[in-house]
Amino acid sequence: MKNEKFTQDEYDALNEVKRGIKGDRVSACVGRNSKRLSGLKLISIARNGHISLTDKGAQTLFLRRCVLALQALAAQPGSAIDADVALFLGKKSHISERAEGGFDISDKGRESLADIISQGF
């Protein structure tokens, strides 16, 4: 995946699609962003108009959750993070478990986070 930069509005649209579109009409947020997100293959729009999240879109949302978790742990060690994110970041040695519970960001995690931020996340 290239270093595509997304706005908060685009992430909100992806999250809305992930939750599922209710009814026949999409929200203004999804409508504003659907052309770019479908062009980047993050969402797919069926012939009948049904919008769904692609695997690439789900991966993008997951990676964003990982970066947000690293930021939270850098700001406050022991912050609560989702189990799937903790498992992934633990396997990558970006976080370590704390004796008193929760997680700390590792040196490798700090380096990765600094690199991500320098790229304009």
pLDDT tens for the chain, 121 residues long, are: 455 789 999 999 999 999 988 777 889 999 999 999 999 999 999 998 889 999 999 999 999 999 999 999 999 999 999 999 999 999 999 999 998 888 999 999 999 999 998 887 7
Please check whether residues 37 and 88 belong to one and the same domain: no
Answer for the pair 53, 17: CB distance below 8 angstroms, yes or no. yes
Pull the structure tokens for residue 105: 């960001």
d(CA 79, CA 93): 17
Residue 1 lies in a domain: no
d(CA 121, CA 108): 18
Residue 3 lies in a domain: no
DSSP letter (8 states) at residue 43: E
Residue 99 lies in a domain: yes
The alpha carbon of residue 114 and the mean position of all alpha carbons in its chain are separated, in whole angstroms, by 17
Count of the separate structural domains present in the chain:
2
Residue 14 lies in a domain: yes
Q: What is the pTM of this model?
A: 0.87
Please check whether residues 38 and 68 belong to one and the same domain: no
Q: Which of 59, 22, 54 lies closest to 41 in space, CA to CA?
A: 54
| Residue that is last in its domain, among 33, 53, 73 | 53
d(CA 121, CA 114): 10
Expressed as residue numbers, the domain containing 98 is 59-118
Residue 42 lies in a domain: yes
Residue 73 lies in a domain: yes
